[in-house]
Amino acid sequence: MLKEVAEGVLVHESEFIQSNSVVIQGTDGVLLIDPGITSAEMADLADDLRAMGQRVVAGFSTHPDWDHVLWHASFGDPPRFGTARCAASIHEVLSLADWKARVAEGLPPEYAEEIPMELLGHITGLPAETAEIPWDGPAIRILEHRAHAPGHAALLIKERGVLVAGDMLSDLLMPFLDLDAAEPLEDYLAALRLFETVADDVKVVIPGHGSVGEAGELRARITQDLAYVLDVRDRGVTEDPRVGPAATLEWLPDVHNWQLQRLAQRKQEER
């Protein structure tokens, strides 16, 4: 079910890791950001939009992870955008003969049969340095950075006071680093500092996974994520509760430890 979190901004939360699909109302229809996750959930979302008298006029993927480049035929065939780097990354995957098998390896087993693959990744890369999404609706600024995944973008709808953060600024998940990047820790820190520059304009933050945060929550999440990344970089340990004994998701400590191991391996290889 869609929930309005700011004027003309609605969120649908999936059962899968509290994944958030975001709807922005425009002049003649809506922009749909990161829709997911199962076919049934997306069909329900399309039904809700039709009941509101709204059609999807554009889509946007914040980054190229499989759960952010999904689509459903009931949304129609509007242009689906991403940054140039995001599009290049997912198109590289789709160019492989066995791409479905490769993507399937990363799907959660309990949802794998329910996730539609047919329209996955059919996005158009916006020209490099594009400042705003080209659509007939409120101005949506693209904040591209290098944290988490290639071509990741957060979206700032300034007139609505909303930051759509993609896979960052979650109360549920600690920072997931792009361990294939040249500087994963520094890239993440740079993205968090980018968010600090727009924090005064934000009343609502919508993470890719987790709870929508209201006024004041953005800075708290930036601070928590900064502390995590600096702990990992400088100490190799952290007291972040998201990866401690009381972690909401029991597998998060394993992911945290895997990140530490990969970073240690990289450091050893660089010597």
Name the CATH topology of 138-271: Metallo-beta-lactamase; Chain A (3.60.15)
Same fold, 1-129 and 138-271: yes
* Phi, psi of 130, rounded to the nearest 5 degrees: -60, 130
Query: In the structure encoding, which two tokens stand for residue 163, read together?
Result: 């930051």
What is the mean predicted confidence (pLDDT) over 159-177?
A: 97
Please list, residue by residue across 24-49, b when 16 or more beta carbons sit within 10 angstroms of its beta carbon and e when fewer do.
bbbeebbbbbbbbbbbebbebbbeeb
**Which of the four pLDDT bands, split at 50, 70 and 90, describes residue 193?**
very high
* Confidence (pLDDT) at 216: 86
Write down the domain spans for the chain: 1-129, 138-271
pLDDT higher than threshold 80 for residue 270: no
* Confidence (pLDDT) at 204: 98
pLDDT higher than threshold 90 for residue 1: no
**Which of the four pLDDT bands, split at 50, 70 and 90, describes residue 205?**
very high
What is the average pLDDT value for the chain, to the nearest integer? 96
* Confidence (pLDDT) at 159: 94
What is the mean predicted confidence (pLDDT) over 215-230?
A: 95
Name the CATH topology of 1-129: Metallo-beta-lactamase; Chain A (3.60.15)
* Confidence (pLDDT) at 268: 82
* Phi, psi of 152, rounded to the nearest 5 degrees: -60, 140
* Confidence (pLDDT) at 246: 87
pLDDT tens by residue, 14-45: 999 999 999 999 999 999 999 999 999 999 99
DSSP-assigned letters across all residues of 20-40: EEEEEE-SSSEEEES--S-HH
- Residue % of the chain over a pLDDT of 70: 100
* Confidence (pLDDT) at 267: 83
pLDDT tens by residue, 113-162: 999 999 999 999 999 989 999 999 999 999 999 999 999 999 999 999 99
What is the mean predicted confidence (pLDDT) over 95-110?
A: 94
What is the mean predicted confidence (pLDDT) over 235-261?
A: 94
- Residue % of the chain over a pLDDT of 90: 94
* Phi, psi of 248, rounded to the nearest 5 degrees: -60, -40
pLDDT higher than threshold 90 for residue 269: no
Given a contact cutoff of 8 angstroms between Cβ atoms, the answer to whether 19 and 28 are in contact is no
> What is the value of pTM for the model shown?
0.96
* Confidence (pLDDT) at 215: 81
